[in-house]
A = this chain, B = another copy of it.
Amino acid sequence: MKAILVICDGMADRPVKELKGKTPLEAAHKPYLNKIAKTGICGIMDTIAPGIPPGSDTAMLALLGYDALKVYSGRGAFEAVGSGLKVLPGEVAFRCNFATVNDDMVVLDRRAGRIRNEDASKLAGSLQKAKLKKVTNVDFLFKSTLQHRAVLILRGEKLSTAVSASDPGKTGERVQTVKALDNSLAAKHTAKILNELSKVFHEVLKNHKVNKERVRKELPPANIVLFRGAGKIPKISPIPQIYGVEASCISAAPLIRGVCKTAGLNLIDVEGATGMPDTNYKGKAQAAVKALKNSDFVLLHIKATDVASHDKNPKLKVQIIEKIDAMLGYILENVDLNITYLAITADHTTSVVTGNHEGDPVPIVITGPYVRRDDIKEFGERSCAKGGLNRIKGSDLMPILMNFLRRTKKVGA
Protein backbone atom coordinates (compact mmCIF):
# COMPACT_ATOMS: atom_id res chain seq x y z
CA MET A 1 0.00 0.00 0.00
CA LYS A 2 1.20 3.48 -0.90
CA ALA A 3 -0.20 6.99 -0.64
CA ILE A 4 -0.16 10.31 -2.47
CA LEU A 5 -1.09 13.41 -0.48
CA VAL A 6 -1.93 16.43 -2.63
CA ILE A 7 -1.78 19.72 -0.75
CA CYS A 8 -3.24 22.70 -2.58
CA ASP A 9 -1.84 25.74 -0.80
CA GLY A 10 -4.56 28.04 0.52
CA MET A 11 -7.21 26.36 -1.67
CA ALA A 12 -9.89 26.48 1.01
CA ASP A 13 -11.88 29.70 1.10
CA ARG A 14 -15.05 31.42 2.23
CA PRO A 15 -18.22 32.08 0.22
CA VAL A 16 -17.64 34.99 -2.16
CA LYS A 17 -20.28 37.37 -3.58
CA GLU A 18 -18.43 37.48 -6.89
CA LEU A 19 -19.00 33.71 -7.17
CA LYS A 20 -22.68 33.96 -6.19
CA GLY A 21 -22.09 32.93 -2.62
CA LYS A 22 -19.91 29.95 -3.48
CA THR A 23 -16.30 29.43 -2.55
CA PRO A 24 -13.82 29.20 -5.43
CA LEU A 25 -13.60 25.44 -4.81
CA GLU A 26 -17.39 25.13 -4.90
CA ALA A 27 -17.62 27.27 -8.03
CA ALA A 28 -14.97 25.37 -9.98
CA HIS A 29 -15.79 22.69 -12.56
CA LYS A 30 -13.99 19.76 -10.97
CA PRO A 31 -15.14 16.35 -12.24
CA TYR A 32 -12.09 14.51 -10.87
CA LEU A 33 -12.20 16.07 -7.42
CA ASN A 34 -15.87 15.12 -7.26
CA LYS A 35 -15.08 11.60 -8.44
CA ILE A 36 -12.53 11.28 -5.66
CA ALA A 37 -15.11 12.57 -3.15
CA LYS A 38 -17.68 10.05 -4.42
CA THR A 39 -15.34 7.10 -3.97
CA GLY A 40 -13.69 8.33 -0.80
CA ILE A 41 -14.26 9.48 2.74
CA CYS A 42 -14.51 13.23 3.33
CA GLY A 43 -14.18 15.62 6.22
CA ILE A 44 -12.95 18.96 7.38
CA MET A 45 -9.69 19.63 9.14
CA ASP A 46 -8.25 22.26 11.44
CA THR A 47 -4.63 22.28 10.37
CA ILE A 48 -3.45 23.77 13.66
CA ALA A 49 -6.59 24.41 15.74
CA PRO A 50 -10.06 25.87 15.16
CA GLY A 51 -9.89 29.55 14.36
CA ILE A 52 -6.10 29.71 14.23
CA PRO A 53 -4.68 30.87 10.88
CA PRO A 54 -1.72 28.59 10.11
CA GLY A 55 1.49 29.77 8.53
CA SER A 56 2.71 27.79 5.54
CA ASP A 57 5.48 26.29 7.66
CA THR A 58 3.44 25.32 10.72
CA ALA A 59 0.67 23.99 8.47
CA MET A 60 3.11 21.73 6.67
CA LEU A 61 4.61 20.51 9.96
CA ALA A 62 1.11 19.65 11.19
CA LEU A 63 0.16 17.90 7.95
CA LEU A 64 3.30 15.79 8.30
CA GLY A 65 2.00 14.72 11.71
CA TYR A 66 4.08 16.90 14.02
CA ASP A 67 2.80 19.00 16.90
CA ALA A 68 3.54 22.28 15.13
CA LEU A 69 2.98 24.46 18.20
CA LYS A 70 5.60 22.45 20.07
CA VAL A 71 8.29 21.86 17.46
CA TYR A 72 8.13 25.06 15.43
CA SER A 73 11.28 27.12 15.77
CA GLY A 74 10.97 29.79 13.12
CA ARG A 75 10.81 30.01 9.35
CA GLY A 76 14.34 30.99 8.34
CA ALA A 77 15.94 27.58 8.70
CA PHE A 78 13.30 25.94 6.47
CA GLU A 79 13.83 28.58 3.78
CA ALA A 80 17.57 27.98 3.92
CA VAL A 81 17.22 24.20 3.74
CA GLY A 82 14.66 24.54 0.94
CA SER A 83 17.15 26.67 -0.97
CA GLY A 84 19.69 23.88 -0.82
CA LEU A 85 21.72 25.08 2.16
CA LYS A 86 22.59 22.99 5.17
CA VAL A 87 21.55 24.27 8.58
CA LEU A 88 23.03 22.50 11.57
CA PRO A 89 21.54 22.28 15.06
CA GLY A 90 22.22 25.48 16.97
CA GLU A 91 22.58 27.61 13.86
CA VAL A 92 20.10 30.40 13.25
CA ALA A 93 18.91 31.21 9.74
CA PHE A 94 17.08 34.27 8.41
CA ARG A 95 15.03 35.15 5.38
CA CYS A 96 16.58 38.18 3.72
CA ASN A 97 15.54 40.69 1.10
CA PHE A 98 17.74 42.93 -0.98
CA ALA A 99 15.95 46.29 -0.65
CA THR A 100 16.37 49.94 -1.47
CA VAL A 101 16.77 52.64 1.20
CA ASN A 102 17.39 56.40 0.99
CA ASP A 103 20.05 58.25 2.98
CA ASP A 104 17.77 58.30 6.04
CA MET A 105 17.53 54.48 5.94
CA VAL A 106 13.86 54.71 4.94
CA VAL A 107 12.84 51.72 2.82
CA LEU A 108 11.77 52.81 -0.67
CA ASP A 109 11.44 49.36 -2.27
CA ARG A 110 11.40 46.12 -0.27
CA ARG A 111 12.47 44.11 -3.32
CA ALA A 112 15.03 46.46 -4.89
CA GLY A 113 12.97 46.44 -8.08
CA ARG A 114 12.80 42.65 -8.02
CA ILE A 115 16.51 42.61 -8.80
CA ARG A 116 17.67 39.95 -11.28
CA ASN A 117 19.39 36.80 -10.04
CA GLU A 118 22.70 37.75 -11.69
CA ASP A 119 22.97 41.11 -9.91
CA ALA A 120 21.86 39.64 -6.57
CA SER A 121 24.39 36.86 -6.88
CA LYS A 122 27.26 39.28 -7.47
CA LEU A 123 26.22 41.40 -4.49
CA ALA A 124 25.90 38.32 -2.30
CA GLY A 125 29.41 37.25 -3.28
CA SER A 126 30.80 40.57 -2.05
CA LEU A 127 28.76 40.46 1.16
CA GLN A 128 30.09 37.01 1.98
CA LYS A 129 33.58 38.55 2.12
CA ALA A 130 32.56 41.28 4.57
CA LYS A 131 34.23 41.28 7.99
CA LEU A 132 32.59 41.87 11.34
CA LYS A 133 34.59 43.97 13.80
CA LYS A 134 32.51 44.32 16.95
CA VAL A 135 31.39 40.73 17.16
CA THR A 136 33.70 37.76 17.08
CA ASN A 137 33.26 34.02 17.41
CA VAL A 138 30.57 33.96 14.77
CA ASP A 139 30.63 32.95 11.12
CA PHE A 140 27.95 33.77 8.64
CA LEU A 141 26.85 32.34 5.34
CA PHE A 142 24.98 34.67 3.01
CA LYS A 143 23.46 33.45 -0.22
CA SER A 144 21.03 34.95 -2.73
CA THR A 145 18.31 32.59 -3.91
CA LEU A 146 15.60 33.92 -6.23
CA GLN A 147 15.51 37.56 -7.38
CA HIS A 148 15.62 39.81 -4.27
CA ARG A 149 15.47 36.85 -1.89
CA ALA A 150 18.43 35.64 0.12
CA VAL A 151 19.33 33.56 3.14
CA LEU A 152 21.61 34.30 6.07
CA ILE A 153 22.89 31.59 8.39
CA LEU A 154 24.72 32.40 11.62
CA ARG A 155 27.14 29.81 12.97
CA GLY A 156 28.65 30.10 16.40
CA GLU A 157 27.89 29.85 20.08
CA LYS A 158 25.03 31.46 21.97
CA LEU A 159 22.67 32.18 19.09
CA SER A 160 18.93 32.67 19.49
CA THR A 161 15.86 33.00 17.29
CA ALA A 162 14.35 35.44 19.80
CA VAL A 163 15.20 38.54 17.81
CA SER A 164 13.04 41.05 15.98
CA ALA A 165 13.29 41.74 12.25
CA SER A 166 15.23 44.59 10.69
CA ASP A 167 12.65 44.50 7.89
CA PRO A 168 9.92 47.08 8.67
CA GLY A 169 7.55 45.03 6.48
CA LYS A 170 6.50 47.99 4.33
CA THR A 171 7.94 50.92 2.43
CA GLY A 172 8.10 54.41 3.90
CA GLU A 173 9.49 53.21 7.20
CA ARG A 174 13.05 53.06 8.43
CA VAL A 175 15.11 49.92 8.67
CA GLN A 176 14.50 48.61 12.17
CA THR A 177 17.14 48.09 14.81
CA VAL A 178 17.07 44.38 15.66
CA LYS A 179 16.11 43.78 19.27
CA ALA A 180 16.33 40.83 21.62
CA LEU A 181 12.86 39.45 22.27
CA ASP A 182 13.77 37.86 25.58
CA ASN A 183 16.31 38.49 28.31
CA SER A 184 18.76 35.79 27.27
CA LEU A 185 22.36 36.63 26.50
CA ALA A 186 21.99 34.63 23.30
CA ALA A 187 19.17 36.87 22.05
CA LYS A 188 21.14 40.03 22.87
CA HIS A 189 24.22 38.58 21.21
CA THR A 190 22.26 37.62 18.07
CA ALA A 191 20.65 41.06 17.84
CA LYS A 192 24.07 42.67 18.11
CA ILE A 193 25.40 40.50 15.26
CA LEU A 194 22.47 41.38 13.00
CA ASN A 195 22.74 45.10 13.67
CA GLU A 196 26.42 45.03 12.83
CA LEU A 197 25.77 42.92 9.71
CA SER A 198 23.08 45.38 8.64
CA LYS A 199 25.58 48.27 8.80
CA VAL A 200 28.51 46.39 7.29
CA PHE A 201 26.33 45.09 4.43
CA HIS A 202 24.99 48.59 3.78
CA GLU A 203 28.55 49.94 3.56
CA VAL A 204 29.54 47.26 1.05
CA LEU A 205 26.36 47.65 -1.00
CA LYS A 206 26.09 51.38 -1.32
CA ASN A 207 29.43 51.67 -3.09
CA HIS A 208 29.12 48.44 -5.09
CA LYS A 209 29.63 48.69 -8.82
CA VAL A 210 26.49 46.60 -9.48
CA ASN A 211 24.44 49.25 -7.70
CA LYS A 212 26.23 52.11 -9.45
CA GLU A 213 25.32 50.45 -12.73
CA ARG A 214 21.69 49.99 -11.53
CA VAL A 215 21.42 53.68 -10.64
CA ARG A 216 22.81 54.58 -14.05
CA LYS A 217 20.04 52.45 -15.60
CA GLU A 218 17.47 54.10 -13.30
CA LEU A 219 16.90 50.86 -11.42
CA PRO A 220 16.55 50.95 -7.62
CA PRO A 221 19.90 50.09 -6.00
CA ALA A 222 19.98 47.02 -3.74
CA ASN A 223 21.71 48.96 -0.98
CA ILE A 224 20.43 47.17 2.11
CA VAL A 225 19.69 43.63 3.26
CA LEU A 226 16.60 43.24 5.43
CA PHE A 227 16.49 40.37 7.93
CA ARG A 228 13.44 38.53 9.26
CA GLY A 229 12.09 35.09 10.15
CA ALA A 230 14.83 33.85 12.47
CA GLY A 231 14.67 30.09 12.63
CA LYS A 232 16.47 27.00 13.86
CA ILE A 233 16.07 23.47 12.62
CA PRO A 234 13.49 21.84 14.92
CA LYS A 235 14.28 18.59 16.69
CA ILE A 236 11.92 16.18 14.97
CA SER A 237 12.12 12.51 14.13
CA PRO A 238 12.08 12.09 10.37
CA ILE A 239 9.05 10.52 8.69
CA PRO A 240 10.99 7.47 7.39
CA GLN A 241 12.07 6.74 10.96
CA ILE A 242 8.63 7.23 12.51
CA TYR A 243 6.68 5.18 9.99
CA GLY A 244 9.30 3.10 8.20
CA VAL A 245 8.39 4.54 4.80
CA GLU A 246 10.32 6.04 1.93
CA ALA A 247 8.82 9.48 1.41
CA SER A 248 9.17 12.12 -1.29
CA CYS A 249 8.10 15.72 -1.81
CA ILE A 250 7.27 17.52 -5.03
CA SER A 251 7.09 21.26 -4.47
CA ALA A 252 8.58 24.38 -6.01
CA ALA A 253 8.28 26.49 -2.86
CA PRO A 254 11.56 26.70 -0.90
CA LEU A 255 9.72 26.87 2.44
CA ILE A 256 7.73 23.70 1.76
CA ARG A 257 10.81 21.97 0.38
CA GLY A 258 12.67 22.98 3.52
CA VAL A 259 10.04 21.59 5.88
CA CYS A 260 9.80 18.36 3.89
CA LYS A 261 13.56 17.93 3.64
CA THR A 262 13.84 18.50 7.40
CA ALA A 263 11.17 15.82 7.88
CA GLY A 264 13.26 13.36 5.89
CA LEU A 265 11.42 13.50 2.56
CA ASN A 266 13.37 13.25 -0.70
CA LEU A 267 12.98 16.38 -2.81
CA ILE A 268 12.03 15.77 -6.41
CA ASP A 269 12.61 18.53 -8.97
CA VAL A 270 10.15 19.05 -11.80
CA GLU A 271 10.97 21.09 -14.88
CA GLY A 272 8.63 24.04 -15.22
CA ALA A 273 7.42 23.87 -11.61
CA THR A 274 7.37 27.52 -10.62
CA GLY A 275 5.21 27.80 -7.53
CA MET A 276 3.04 30.14 -9.61
CA PRO A 277 -0.24 29.86 -11.57
CA ASP A 278 1.78 29.03 -14.73
CA THR A 279 3.38 25.98 -13.07
CA ASN A 280 3.78 22.64 -14.84
CA TYR A 281 0.76 20.83 -13.35
CA LYS A 282 1.05 17.78 -15.56
CA GLY A 283 4.78 17.52 -14.99
CA LYS A 284 4.18 17.48 -11.24
CA ALA A 285 1.50 14.79 -11.59
CA GLN A 286 3.81 12.68 -13.74
CA ALA A 287 6.59 13.10 -11.20
CA ALA A 288 4.24 12.02 -8.39
CA VAL A 289 3.16 8.88 -10.22
CA LYS A 290 6.77 8.08 -11.04
CA ALA A 291 7.87 8.73 -7.46
CA LEU A 292 5.43 6.07 -6.22
CA LYS A 293 7.75 3.43 -7.65
CA ASN A 294 10.42 4.04 -5.03
CA SER A 295 8.43 5.90 -2.39
CA ASP A 296 5.63 4.70 -0.12
CA PHE A 297 4.42 8.23 0.49
CA VAL A 298 4.49 11.12 -1.99
CA LEU A 299 3.55 14.65 -0.98
CA LEU A 300 2.57 16.81 -3.95
CA HIS A 301 2.29 20.51 -3.18
CA ILE A 302 0.72 23.14 -5.44
CA LYS A 303 1.35 26.76 -4.51
CA ALA A 304 -0.73 28.52 -7.20
CA THR A 305 -4.06 28.52 -5.33
CA ASP A 306 -2.49 30.53 -2.54
CA VAL A 307 -1.00 33.02 -5.00
CA ALA A 308 -4.44 33.70 -6.50
CA SER A 309 -5.89 34.15 -3.00
CA HIS A 310 -3.22 36.60 -1.92
CA ASP A 311 -3.92 38.49 -5.16
CA LYS A 312 -7.62 38.56 -4.17
CA ASN A 313 -8.52 37.07 -7.53
CA PRO A 314 -11.43 34.60 -7.18
CA LYS A 315 -11.68 33.91 -10.90
CA LEU A 316 -8.01 33.09 -11.20
CA LYS A 317 -8.39 30.84 -8.16
CA VAL A 318 -11.26 28.98 -9.84
CA GLN A 319 -9.15 28.53 -12.97
CA ILE A 320 -6.23 27.18 -10.99
CA ILE A 321 -8.48 24.73 -9.14
CA GLU A 322 -9.71 23.52 -12.53
CA LYS A 323 -6.11 22.97 -13.63
CA ILE A 324 -5.46 21.05 -10.41
CA ASP A 325 -8.56 18.98 -11.18
CA ALA A 326 -7.14 18.05 -14.59
CA MET A 327 -3.86 17.19 -12.88
CA LEU A 328 -5.73 14.86 -10.52
CA GLY A 329 -7.36 13.26 -13.56
CA TYR A 330 -3.89 12.27 -14.74
CA ILE A 331 -3.07 10.80 -11.34
CA LEU A 332 -6.36 8.87 -11.14
CA GLU A 333 -5.72 7.34 -14.55
CA ASN A 334 -2.14 6.40 -13.79
CA VAL A 335 -2.11 4.91 -10.29
CA ASP A 336 -3.59 1.61 -9.16
CA LEU A 337 -6.25 2.56 -6.63
CA ASN A 338 -6.34 -1.04 -5.40
CA ILE A 339 -3.00 -0.48 -3.75
CA THR A 340 -2.81 3.32 -3.52
CA TYR A 341 -4.49 5.82 -1.24
CA LEU A 342 -5.01 9.33 -2.60
CA ALA A 343 -5.71 12.24 -0.25
CA ILE A 344 -6.47 15.81 -1.31
CA THR A 345 -6.56 18.79 1.00
CA ALA A 346 -5.40 22.35 1.56
CA ASP A 347 -2.89 23.53 4.15
CA HIS A 348 -5.11 26.42 5.19
CA THR A 349 -7.89 28.71 4.12
CA THR A 350 -6.70 31.78 2.25
CA SER A 351 -9.52 34.24 1.69
CA VAL A 352 -9.74 35.92 -1.72
CA VAL A 353 -11.53 38.75 0.09
CA THR A 354 -8.97 39.47 2.82
CA GLY A 355 -5.99 38.07 0.92
CA ASN A 356 -4.84 36.47 4.17
CA HIS A 357 -4.52 33.05 5.74
CA GLU A 358 -7.63 32.45 7.84
CA GLY A 359 -8.43 30.02 10.64
CA ASP A 360 -11.39 28.33 8.93
CA PRO A 361 -11.05 24.55 8.50
CA VAL A 362 -10.08 22.98 5.16
CA PRO A 363 -11.80 20.16 3.26
CA ILE A 364 -10.12 16.77 3.08
CA VAL A 365 -10.85 13.61 1.10
CA ILE A 366 -9.14 10.22 1.17
CA THR A 367 -9.88 7.53 -1.38
CA GLY A 368 -8.35 4.08 -1.63
CA PRO A 369 -9.07 0.38 -1.15
CA TYR A 370 -10.21 0.20 2.48
CA VAL A 371 -11.69 3.60 3.28
CA ARG A 372 -15.21 3.68 4.70
CA ARG A 373 -16.65 5.42 1.64
CA ASP A 374 -19.30 7.96 2.61
CA ASP A 375 -22.14 9.51 0.59
CA ILE A 376 -20.47 12.85 -0.20
CA LYS A 377 -20.60 13.58 -3.92
CA GLU A 378 -18.78 16.88 -4.21
CA PHE A 379 -15.43 18.10 -2.96
CA GLY A 380 -15.98 21.42 -1.22
CA GLU A 381 -15.62 23.17 2.10
CA ARG A 382 -19.29 22.67 3.00
CA SER A 383 -20.02 19.32 1.38
CA CYS A 384 -17.01 17.71 3.07
CA ALA A 385 -18.22 18.95 6.46
CA LYS A 386 -20.91 16.26 6.27
CA GLY A 387 -18.45 13.47 5.48
CA GLY A 388 -17.43 10.34 7.33
CA LEU A 389 -14.17 11.74 8.66
CA ASN A 390 -16.08 14.45 10.51
CA ARG A 391 -13.66 17.11 11.81
CA ILE A 392 -10.06 16.17 12.36
CA LYS A 393 -6.85 17.98 13.28
CA GLY A 394 -4.04 18.56 10.82
CA SER A 395 -1.69 16.37 12.83
CA ASP A 396 -4.22 13.49 12.63
CA LEU A 397 -3.92 13.22 8.86
CA MET A 398 -0.54 11.50 8.70
CA PRO A 399 -1.46 8.79 11.26
CA ILE A 400 -4.76 8.26 9.43
CA LEU A 401 -2.95 7.76 6.12
CA MET A 402 -0.19 5.68 7.66
CA ASN A 403 -2.84 3.51 9.34
CA PHE A 404 -4.16 2.64 5.87
CA LEU A 405 -0.57 1.81 4.88
CA ARG A 406 -0.26 -0.33 8.04
CA ARG A 407 2.58 1.86 9.24
CA THR A 408 1.24 3.17 12.56
CA LYS A 409 2.33 1.19 15.58
CA LYS A 410 -0.11 -0.34 18.01
CA VAL A 411 -0.15 1.38 21.39
CA GLY A 412 -0.33 -1.22 24.14
CA ALA A 413 -0.85 -4.94 23.63
A residues touching B (Cβ–Cβ < 8 Å)?
14-15, 21, 23, 44, 48-59, 61, 68-69, 72, 74-75, 229, 351, 353-354, 356-360, 370-374, 381-382, 385-393, 396, 398-403, 406, 408-413
Contact = CB atoms under 8 A, between A and B. Distances in A.
Given A52-B399, A55-B413, A399-B51, A385 B391 contact: no
Given A54-B410, A410-B53, A390 B44 contact: yes
Contacts of A23: 372
Contact of A14 (B21, B57, B353, B370): B370
A353 B382 contact: no
Taking chain A's interface residues, is the majority helix, strand, or loop, or is none over half, making it mixed?
A: loop
Contact of A411 (B69, B351, B371): B69
10 contacts: A51-B396, A55-B411, A55-B413, A57-B412, A74-B413, A229-B413, A360-B372, A382-B388, A385-B389, A389-B391
Given A385-B388, A412-B68, A413-B75, A400 B359 contact: yes
Contact of A357 (B374, B393, B400, B410): B410
Nearest to A44: B390
Contacts of A371: 14
Contacts of A75: 412-413
Contacts of A402: 51
- Copies of this chain held together in the complex: 2
A357 B408 CA distance: 11
B370 A15 contact: yes
A396 B48 CA distance: 12
A399 B44 contact: no
Contacts of A382: 372-374, 388
A392 to B, nearest CB: 6
B411 A54 contact: yes
B403 A51 contact: yes
A390 B384 CA distance: 11
8 closest A-B pairs by CB: A55-B412, A51-B399, A58-B412, A359-B403, A390-B391, A50-B396, A51-B403, A51-B400
Contacts of A15: 370, 372-373
